[in-house]
Amino acid sequence: MWTIQPRGLGDLLEALRNRGYRVVGPVVRDGAICYEDLGSIEDLALAWLDEQEPGNYRLTGSGNGDLFSYSPGAHTWKKFLHKPSVTLWRATKDQKGLHLKEEPTAEGKVALFGARPCELAAIAIQDRVFLEGPFVDSFYAAARKEMFVVALNCSHPSKSCFCVSMKTGPRAATGFDLCLTEIHPNGEAELVVEVGSETGGLILADLQRREATEKDLEAVRKTLEEAEQRVERSLDTEGIQGLFDRSFESPQWDDVARRCLGCANCTMVCPTCFCTTVVESSDLAGAEATRTRIWDSCFTKDFTYIHGGSVRPSGYSRYRQWITHKLANWIEQFGTSGCVGCGRCITWCPVGIDITAEVEALRARERTGSGSGGSSHEGNA
């Protein structure tokens, strides 16, 4: 373990750029923390404080000397790995017939600067989806292979966070090349660095650093313990597959459907949601067509459309699908929950639907005996 000064962050950024990495990280844009290119250290969002709660997000100056006193915003790292829009291939048509042109899979090496522990857990989950099944997504694999991760342990969880109950934070255990923890041993910010890979060690060797003292490590422990205690929300995952199995006809689905706008925000901000559709576009002459894969959401009616109609025409069935898949079916499909407790779906839901509260409501209805059979839904949205 090593300790660097805040100005070392600029050196770290330069070291990564010198090694050919495109460095992306948190910047302030449109009043929110966004993940964008870091051209220089000036772009990095430092000393900002965020307020998050169901349906609410505000970014303000921190004023307390802390560098990283915010938690993730609406962006997720999946925008660099499982991109919102990917050209899969193109086809052209001439007198000889059709010709296919495959697309390049990667633009180069990317370094994620400031990935939170819950976000590393999310990347590990998407790895299972795109790399560990019978088929491999070559676009994801190419982006993933050349990725460098500077992780950032969480010292300021937001009110939407529930990583502790999902066992993903506030401390990163794995999945990084370097991992930073901000401490304030003498009132001034310093960063304790843990090395997670050989490349990480090589890059750190370029930086001005000192060996972390026992006092530094104690400060790290204390910071992360305090952060853990500040995580207010929790999601009870005990027997959750059975809960969803028994709750299929729960009146709670009608209840949440009355609030849910079906806007798909939760799926767009979720770091693990992976669903896509493919759109076909062609030029006006009809000589060239492009196949583009874009993020899709199970909250749209089209998502399940087959001739004759949608399999899930009603809002309640689409919310039920999303949460059941995320928290229960995912376990059967990929051996892990699809939720990392980052709280984005809670913050960015325009009506403040809280996934942890919905699970609690399902449990409460079971306890009080209003868990099933009482539903009046007729299937029309």
Partner 1 sequence: MIAAADPMVPNLHRIQKVTQETSDTFTLALAPSCGRKCPAFRPGQFNMLYVFGVGEVPISISGDPATPETLVHTTRAVGAVTAAMKKMRPGDQLGVRGPYGTEWPVAEAHDRDVVIVAGGIGLAPLRPALYSLLNHRERYGRVVLLYGTRSPEDILYRTEIQKWRSQFDLDVHVTVDRATGKWRGNVGVVTSLIPKAPFDPYHATAFVCGPEIMMRYTILALLKRGVEKDSIHLSMERNMKCAVGFCGHCQIGPLFVCRDGPVFGYPRLEKLLDKREL
- Return the residue of 83, 313, 360, 372 that touches partner 1, per CB under 8 A: 313
| Least distance between partner 1 and beta carbon 32 (Å) | 27
Q: Which of 94/198 has CB closer to partner 1?
A: 94
- Return the residue of 48, 57, 77, 274 that touches partner 1, per CB under 8 A: 274
Q: Which string of x and - marks every residue 133-172 that binds partner 1 (by CB under 8 A)?
A: xxxxxxx--x------------------------------
Computed on alpha carbons and rounded to an integer, the radius of gyration of the chain in Å comes to 23
Which part of the chain contacts partner 1 (CB under 8 A), choosing from 14-22, 87-95, 166-174, 192-200?
87-95
| Least distance between partner 1 and beta carbon 278 (Å) | 5
- Return the residue of 56, 329, 370, 372 that touches partner 1, per CB under 8 A: 329
Q: What residues contact residue 140 under an 8 Å CB cut-off, 6+ apart?
A: 81, 82, 126, 130, 131
What is the CB neighbour count within 10 angstroms for residue 264? 18
**Total site size for partner 1, rule CB under 8 A:** 56
In degrees, to the nearest 5, what angle opens at C-alpha 79 toward C-alphas 62 and 322? 95
For position 304 contacting partner 1 by CB under 8 A, the verdict is yes
- DSSP-derived secondary structure letter, 248: T
What does the block give as tokens for 31? 């009043």
For position 88 contacting partner 1 by CB under 8 A, the verdict is yes
For position 85 contacting partner 1 by CB under 8 A, the verdict is no
| Least distance between partner 1 and beta carbon 294 (Å) | 10
Q: Look at residues 121, 327, 330 and name the one whose alpha carbon lies nearest to residue 239.
A: 327
| Least distance between partner 1 and beta carbon 380 (Å) | 10
For 118-146, b/e burial (b = at least 16 CB within 10 A) is: bbbbbbebbbbbbeeeeeebebbebbbee
DSSP string, 282-339: E-TTSSEEEEEEEE--TTSGGGGEETTEES--SHHHHHHHHHHIIIIIHHHHHSS-S-
What is the spatial distance between Cα 166 and Cα 341, in angstroms, rounded to a whole number? 6
Which part of the chain contacts partner 1 (CB under 8 A), choosing from 46-54, 161-169, 219-227, 303-311?
303-311
For position 284 contacting partner 1 by CB under 8 A, the verdict is no
Amino acid at 38: L
- Return the residue of 61, 95, 98, 208 that touches partner 1, per CB under 8 A: 98
For position 87 contacting partner 1 by CB under 8 A, the verdict is no
For position 280 contacting partner 1 by CB under 8 A, the verdict is yes
- Return the residue of 311, 335, 364, 374 that touches partner 1, per CB under 8 A: 311
Which whole-number Å values give the CA distances from 366 to 95, 228, 325, in the listed order?
66, 30, 20
Which part of the chain contacts partner 1 (CB under 8 A), choosing from 17-25, 226-234, 273-281, 342-350?
273-281
- DSSP-derived secondary structure letter, 21: P
Q: Look at residues 21, 105, 42, 118 and name the one whose alpha carbon lies nearest to residue 76.
A: 118
Interface contacts to partner 1, rule CB under 8 A: 88-89, 91, 93, 97-98, 100, 102-106, 129-130, 133-139, 142, 248, 274-278, 280, 282, 286, 289, 291, 293, 296, 298, 303-307, 311-314, 316-317, 320-321, 324-325, 328-329, 332-333, 379
